[in-house]
A and B are shown apart, each in its own frame.
Chain A
Amino acid sequence: MKADAVVEISDLFKKFPYTSEFALNDLNLEIAKGKIIGLIGPDGAGKTTLIRSIIGLLLPTSGSISTLGLNPVTQKSEINQNIGYMPQKFGLYEDLTVIENLNLYADLKGLSEKDKISSFKTLLDFTELKEFRSRLAGDLSGGMKQKLGLACALLGSPEFLLLDEPSVGVDPISRRELMKMVKKLSLEGITILWSTAYLDEAEHFDTCILLNEGKLLYSGSPKDLTKTLCDRTFFVQDAEGKNRILLKNILKDGKGITDAVIQAEKVRIVLDKGVSSFGNLILTPAEPRFEDAVIDILGGCPKGESELSKNLIFDSHNLEYVIEAKALVKKYGDFYAVKNNTFQVKKGEIFGLLGPNGAGKSTSFKMLCGLITPTSGSARIMGMDIRHDLSKARSYLGYMAQKFSLFGGLSVMQNLKFFSGIYGLFGGEQKEKIEQMIELFNFETYLGQNADELPLGFKQRLALSCALMHNPPILFLDEPTSGVDPLTRRDFWNHISSLVEKGVTVMVTTHFMDEAEYCDRISLFYRGEAIETGTPIELKDKVGKDCTMEEAFIALIEKFDKQESPHNENN
């Protein structure tokens, strides 16, 4: 075991019973002491499995792991003495208060009374939870829960901290604060393993371990990886601003391109190695991003045209505003989940509701779909008030739920039949439509499988196809790409773009800042209010400089907070 290695893994394989694929496939890597290591990969890549194997919660099928010089298989309890672990659901007891949770974990880790007092003081200050010590953990916001989870993991001064997706769904400010905290810890010599599905977090890590489908794609410094693409990334722009069409054409051709993706009003492309030009487009050099490098390793983005739009026909209509929300409010008791939300969406627009979990975007979204009754205010779909013509209004909607709520116990075919049936298709028409979807999305080999056994990408496709069964003019997508790998995400957005071209209006919610770039207009949600609405460029310009969506968001939130409570400015 190397002197400064905290974890050494050789030839690790892990296979779960009843499945045919390896969750971890031939991993060989090292984790160095005192660094912040990012474990990056989409859902299903094996991140949680790897973390659990390192601390001995799972046993390897074959291969060896050495953690802190100990064997997790035989010496798990010794390893427990020196680690801090924060699992995906934070490991908090929701019925206990903040201080009770801390007390519990302190006792479980064997802290003395004296140590407890000093640790609690430090941690509560560190996480800014001091004024919430008597609040039930279940009543905390997402960001606060994560901080509390981190605090509990830090009790006992572990030398190795493992955090499983600590930043998922959290508002960008909290995410930043979490990262700052972690960096401070690393200066004290603590090794931190932080797993995430967000590629844009990579730049904060000293090392990153890139996983996909159980395999190790890359292990090393993210900057080094990014640098390898330094002269392959460029921006292109369409004179008329029709960047989606530009993208479509680029991908249709596809030769020499590794990646092409929309970024605000421009299209970002990554050329293949050795290629220096593409058609007759003017290329402006761009800074490479980590994501570009990842796509490169994964073999490049999917090319070709989306078959979807070619084959689907939508009724045309002449409404200007397809979705309208006026002064929507939702109160739960005294708590305002959504305060006074007003906006309008034009036909053929992609409108995004952006914000962290708990900001009110899902609630607004659900009010527009008719899932939640507004406390006050009105919503119109295709010109119809949803309260009066709910059923008719709903027939114009296609809805793709969070985590793709499909009927997991039913087969793919049964799901397709169900959704087509309840949207009014039957007989020959239904059969035809289902066959069309099967062909478009390549469901052929999966028809008999249970929906919850599908790989994540196919689940997403199935959910999309079910939403499109009845050719709806409006699509509501609730966190449609959460957890999927970047290739699948691009594929998905290509389909969406082509649908939009045909006149479909799309409303999407997401907490993934970069996804905002795909939208025509965005509403930023924070604490129940839409604090800003506009095109991505407009929002970025408000902040002034050329920045990322996330930076823009943070700045806008800070501005908002200052406005809201000027007397608190000195705190």
Chain B
Amino acid sequence: MKIIKALVFKEFCQMLRDPSTMLIAFILPFILLCVYQFALNLDTNTVSIGLKVEDNRAKISSLAAYFENTEYIRLKHYQSRQKMEKDMEKGVIRGMVIIPNNFSTQIMRREVAQIQVITDGSETNTANFVANYASAIIQKWLNNEYKYWRIKRPAVQVVSRFWYNEELNSHWFILPGALSVIMTLVGILLTALVISREWERGTMESLITTKVTKTDILLGKYIPYFCLGMASMIFGVFCCVVLFQVPFRGSYFIFAIVSAFFLLSLIGQGFLISTLAKNQFVASQAALIAGFLPALMLSGLVYPISSMPKPIQFLSNFISAKYFVGCSQNLFMAGNIWDIFIPNSIFMILMSIIFYIFIYRFTAQRLD
């Protein structure tokens, strides 16, 4: 006990006196959260579209007005088709709407009138939105301008509701998930270098000639970094709730517990990398490649796991961030949903235990 206390104290001293630790634990997450909050926007609420009206009838100008007045579209008028195409090439606009000159004639003749919408497929994210917005506006215009030809109302009225996030505010979704990714980064980056640093500096060699056991060494490292990780997480939640106004509907206590499990698995991963790597250079590369990038891509934060090919879905089961993302998003947006917490927590605990076992096995008590 005394030994563990002494080791924990030592680790805290080292941690607090090293400026880069504070940088990683608090400043880096803050910067990243700001970037996620302000720079990332998955709503795509505005799209730049170019409009060329070839039909000069008065009625058609009101269609142009509809495009103009909607907040979802940044409209640009074009007289020349060539210039419009060039701008689409350049990426200035993401879609073109062309109203041919026989449009109103065709409508009056009760023929099928055509409007051309061309999207920039290379911006695959926005292309869908372009097509949808354009169609929706045209429908609306038709309904209002040709009252006596109003399309009969649909037989089925669909009432849609979005539970937990009524306005589909993408930040409510991104930030809790971003916490998961950022914590992965912090947790693994902090710990991946710690053990290999002691080997490189020679202090580990000295430790293993005293009375310490493997458990002492490991607990002496787990405890301080766990505390630091929790502090970092609390700071992150503070930023999300207070600074960025993301609602928190669950219980903070449960969040703390789930975070604890998550952190344990992360610390385990980091320390395992640190134990196996011979030096800091290799440790940091491994942390980046095996720890962080998979968390970013395969945790379900940005890309839905269910849409991934089966082998990759299988891979994502080994990433603890995946389990935490689910819990985190729920705690923020929904509340306490035990059906989700319990299985996810079990997985995280399992991973923590497995990592600990491996670390224990590989912690050397000799130099051979």
Binding site for B on A (CB under 8 A): 52, 55-59, 76-77, 80-81, 83, 85-96, 100, 103-105, 107-110, 152
Contacts and interface: CB of A to CB of B under 8 A. Distances in A.
Given A58-B367, A76-B366, A110 B2 contact: yes
Interface of B: 2-3, 5-7, 9-10, 13-14, 17-18, 201-203, 205-213, 365-368
Given A80-B210, A91-B206, A108 B366 contact: no
Given A91-B207, A108-B211, 17 more contacts: A56-B366, A57-B209, A58-B367, A81-B211, A85-B209, A87-B202, A89-B205, A91-B206, A93-B14, A95-B18, A96-B10, A96-B13, A103-B6, A104-B10, A107-B5, A109-B210, A152-B206
Contacts of A57: 205, 208-209, 366-368
A110 B211 contact: yes
A95 B13 contact: yes
B3 A108 contact: yes
Nearest to A136: B17
A89 B206 CA distance: 9
A55 B209 contact: yes
A87 B367 CA distance: 13
A482 B14 CA distance: 32
| The 9 nearest A-B residue pairs measured at CB | A91-B206, A89-B202, A107-B6, A108-B210, A85-B209, A95-B14, A57-B367, A95-B17, A87-B205
Contacts of A76: 365-366
A135 B14 CA distance: 14
Contact of A100 (B10, B203, B209): B10
Contacts of A152: 206
Nearest to B207: A108
A457 to B, nearest CB: 25
Which of B5, B202, B210, B367 gathers most chain A CB within 10 Å?
Answer: B210
A100 B365 contact: no
B364 to A, nearest CB: 9
A364 B47 CA distance: 65
Given A95-B14, A100-B13, A80 B211 contact: yes
A184 B224 CA distance: 40
B140 to A, nearest CB: 67
Nearest to B204: A91
A77 B208 CA distance: 9
Given A95-B14, A100-B13, A105 B368 contact: no
Contacts of B18: 95
Contacts of B202: 87-91
Contacts of B13: 93, 95-96, 100
B17 to A, nearest CB: 5
A83 B5 CA distance: 23
20 contacts: A56-B366, A57-B366, A58-B367, A59-B368, A76-B365, A80-B210, A80-B211, A85-B206, A85-B209, A86-B206, A89-B205, A91-B207, A95-B18, A96-B13, A96-B14, A100-B10, A108-B3, A108-B207, A110-B3, A152-B206
Nearest to B202: A89
A301 B31 CA distance: 65
A96 B10 CA distance: 7
A96 B367 CA distance: 25
A91 B212 CA distance: 15
A51 B232 CA distance: 43
Contacts of B205: 57, 87, 89, 91
Contacts of A96: 10, 13-14
A177 B213 CA distance: 34
B150 to A, nearest CB: 77
A196 B368 CA distance: 23
A58 B213 CA distance: 17
A59 B6 contact: no
Contacts of B368: 57-59
Nearest to B4: A107
Nearest to A85: B209
A78 to B, nearest CB: 10
Nearest to B13: A96
Contacts of A95: 13-14, 17-18
B280 to A, nearest CB: 16
Which of A76, A91, A103, A110 gathers most chain B CB within 10 Å?
Answer: A91
A87 B366 CA distance: 14
Contact of A93 (B203, B213, B366): B203
A91 B3 CA distance: 17
Contacts of B208: 57
Nearest to A100: B13
B324 to A, nearest CB: 32
Given A57-B366, A95-B13, A107-B5, A87 B206 contact: yes
A52 B6 CA distance: 25
Contact of A80 (B6, B17, B209): B209
A94 to B, nearest CB: 8
B51 to A, nearest CB: 61
A81 B6 CA distance: 18
A92 to B, nearest CB: 7
Contacts of A86: 206
A55 B202 CA distance: 16
Contacts of A92: 203
B14 to A, nearest CB: 5
Nearest to A14: B368
A105 B208 CA distance: 11
B203 A108 contact: no
A95 B2 CA distance: 21
B9 to A, nearest CB: 8
A380 to B, nearest CB: 40
A108 B212 contact: yes
B307 to A, nearest CB: 44
Contacts of B17: 95
Nearest to A138: B17
Contacts of B206: 85-87, 91, 152
B203 A91 contact: yes
Given A85-B206, A96-B14, A107 B2 contact: yes
A94 B201 CA distance: 10
A100 B285 CA distance: 33
Contacts of A77: 211, 213
Contacts of B9: 100, 104
B23 to A, nearest CB: 16
A96 B3 CA distance: 17
Nearest to B5: A107
B266 to A, nearest CB: 24
Contacts of B6: 103-104, 107-108
A58 to B, nearest CB: 5
A103 B10 CA distance: 10
A92 B206 CA distance: 8
A59 B203 contact: no
B366 A58 contact: yes
A57 B366 CA distance: 4
B213 to A, nearest CB: 8
Contacts of A81: 211
A111 to B, nearest CB: 9
Nearest to A55: B209
Nearest to B10: A104
Contact of A89 (B10, B14, B201): B201
Contact of B10 (A59, A87, A93): A93
A448 B368 CA distance: 29
Contacts of A89: 201-203, 205
A185 to B, nearest CB: 18
A55 B365 CA distance: 11
B367 A105 contact: no
Given A88-B202, A93-B14, A59 B2 contact: no
Contact of A83 (B203, B209, B365, B367): B209
A239 B197 CA distance: 58
B153 to A, nearest CB: 74
A108 B6 CA distance: 7
A104 B12 CA distance: 12
A85 B9 CA distance: 22
A59 B14 CA distance: 32
